[in-house]
Amino acid sequence: MEKITVKFPDGSSSTFSKNTTLFQIVKSVDDGSGKDYIAGKVNGKLVDMSFPLLEDADLEFVTPDSEMGLDIIRHSTSHVMAQAVKKLYKGIKITIGPTIDNGFYYDFDYEENFSPQDIAGIESKMQEIIDQNLPVTRRELPREEAIEIFKNQGETYKVELLEEISDEFVSVYIQDDFMDLCRGPHLPSTGKIKAFKLTSLAGAYWRGDEKNKMLQRIYGTAFSDTQTLEDYLQRLEDAKRRDHRKLGKSLDLFSIHEDAGAGLVIYHPKGAMLRSILEDFEKREHLKRGYQLVRGPHLLKLDLWEKSGHFENYRENMYFTEIEGQRYGIKPMNCLAHMLVYKSRIRSYRELPQRYFELGTVHRHEKSGVLHGLLRVREFTQDDAHILCTPDQLEEEIKGVIDFIEDVMKIFKFEYEMELSTRPEKSIGDDSTWEKATSILKQVMDKNRIPYSVKEGEGAFYGPKIDVKLKDALDRKWQCATIQCDFVLPERFDLTFINSNGIKERPVMLHRVILGAMERFIGVLIEHYGGAFPTWLAPVQAIVLTVTDRNMGFAEEVYNQLTGSLLRTEKDFRNEKLGLKIREAQLQKIPYMLIIGDREVNDGVISARVRSGEKLKSMKINEFISLVQEESQNRG
């Protein structure tokens, strides 16, 4: 019998017969830890436990509580859900069921609408399938055979997917009488699923295209143990209470009207004030770091978008129009106008770097199925900047942006992680250019000991990038800042500078945002703070409340003095009970409530209480103004 050598992560190795499966290896090398391995990585590739080894290999086992293990559990649970739904609802068609952050979903084509009551029945049927501990088997089938099988089952969506696959053979996974098209890997059996929950229902167009049929989507999640699931479900309840769409309405911050158009945000006075505070903050932070303010048009000739590569690589996300026979593109990004600013005159190396900053509003053609409150919209404003520098300055400029990001994240008290995203399949530029750009980003992070993960193929079409994922109060991750290194567009637009030898040389361009899209960042802030913004950010910092009508004169003086000192103040002089006014102000999450009664009028003071209910000592108006100003200055 032919032998192969298997090397393990600890550096040890063992010899096995060819065709030995991962199941068999686990039994022979049991380390007594009691770990329940559910899959393996063979030479870096994830495989099922039934995978037979045909040659020497590096082998690492996957545990249920690892990131890879959780993904496998969730994918397997989505298959169990699809199997349960097919058993319960005759004539239903299945489509796709991928994993997503913290869970999974499956889309179904069914004439009747699922209700929340149906979820309990589906969960019960899923538990039956799990309790049966059905073996999960992988099979490789000729593509044509798989097409015939799914045709006979009436699974037209699976047939459509198969017909687009060019491979001669495809993989399917089978558990009892259920079969699904899938690359895998999966759990060895359904009984390995220990903790799951179906979480919500939604509609979704097939392939995210509103021209296609509307499907029904069931979301769920799964974990390696019950306690972790319960903790996650509690966080979900917290997230519902913090939902920016719900708080946006109750706090009167913004609205989105179908009459105006999906994905188009209308800011109400408080929301516009919040945004203005952030924009003013952005401008100050950029100016003190040597950025210059610029502003580009919303329309640019199609010729420019063709030259930049956007038309070829990004046009499905763009809007176009025609004026007097000339075609224009509505900008999805701000970089083109910034390059034209740079190119407006000859540049010397002594002028570099040039750092151009714009709160630039862009438009992107997002499918209606993916729009989500402020987090995914069709019109948004980026805190966009482009740095044009010499190759020798590149490392320092990248580090400067990273430091900028770190400073800002501290102000908002966000933790964050970094990712290095490499060349995507759809891109421009030659390999050497991409390698050089990727290398410099990696070099800066390695040199400064910045931890990061690598996301293969997720860079921009013109260059690799560093992506920043911030973590909010519920430990959820959000895409935020990005730093993109671009050698390609300066070449396409023939950007140059005169070097110290009097010779023309090509600059490098960094595309970068700090907060990212203002709409998205505001949505994240609302959920992060639960609508209770710190005083410096709060659209309304204080509200003046009267006890009776006879207190209105002094209360009006207080209000005028606060607004005159640029404190964002409201007043409530209604002839209502004070307790009601205080409760309403607390629901509006206003940081300070100033109570004006007979004693305050007589003593010329105010009684302040914070939104948590804590009462402060009585104080003069100017004392309170100083308190709020100092708190705001310290970003409290």
- State pLDDT tens for residues 14-35: 888 899 899 888 887 665 554 6
Instruction: Tokens 């999966």: give the residue.
Output: 186
Residue pair 314/363 in contact by the 8 Å Cβ criterion: no
What sign has the CA pseudo-torsion 561, 564, 569, 570? positive
Backbone angles phi, psi at 232, to 5 degrees: -65, -45
Q: Is 511 a catalytic residue?
A: yes
What pLDDT does 349 receive?
97
For the chain, domains (ranges, CATH) are 3-63 (3.10.20.30), 68-233 (3.30.980.10), 254-297+332-528 (3.30.930.10), 542-633 (3.40.50.800)
Instruction: Tokens 């952050």: give the residue.
Output: 101
Residue 593, burial from CB neighbour count under 10 angstroms (0-12, 13-18, 19+): buried
- State pLDDT tens for residues 45-58: 999 999 999 999 89
Q: Is 268 a catalytic residue?
A: no
Q: Is 365 a catalytic residue?
A: no
Given 386, 512, 568, 571, which residue is catalytic?
A: 386
What CA–CA distance (Å, rounded) separates 435 from 425? Answer: 14
Given 175, 354, 382, 484, which residue is catalytic?
A: 382
- 308: its two tokens: 């930049």
What sign has the CA pseudo-torsion 573, 579, 582, 586? negative
Does pTM top 0.95 for this prediction?
no
Whether 359 has a pLDDT exceeding 60, the answer reads yes
Q: Is 586 a catalytic residue?
A: no
- Tell me the mean pLDDT in the region 377-392: 96
- State pLDDT tens for residues 167-204: 999 999 999 999 999 999 999 999 999 999 999 999 98
324 confidence band (pLDDT: 50, 70, 90): very high
Given 74, 107, 335, 423, which residue is catalytic?
A: 335
Q: Is 465 a catalytic residue?
A: yes
Residue pair 389/379 in contact by the 8 Å Cβ criterion: no
What pLDDT does 400 receive?
97
- State pLDDT tens for residues 301-322: 999 999 999 999 899 999 999 9
Given 275, 465, 589, 611, which residue is catalytic?
A: 465
Residue 36, burial from CB neighbour count under 10 angstroms (0-12, 13-18, 19+): middle
- State pLDDT tens for residues 329-345: 999 999 999 999 999 99
Which one-letter DSSP state was computed for residue 168?
Answer: S
Given 107, 384, 467, 472, which residue is catalytic?
A: 384
- Residue 486's CB is within 10 A of a number of other CB atoms, namely 23
The chain-wide mean pLDDT, for the chain, equals 93
Given 364, 378, 528, 568, which residue is catalytic?
A: 364
Q: Is 386 a catalytic residue?
A: yes
Task: Give the lowest-confidence range in 98-112, 200-214, 483-497.
Answer: 200-214
Given 423, 511, 520, 568, which residue is catalytic?
A: 511
Q: Is 384 a catalytic residue?
A: yes
Whether 102 has a pLDDT exceeding 90, the answer reads no
What CA–CA distance (Å, rounded) separates 406 from 470? Answer: 11
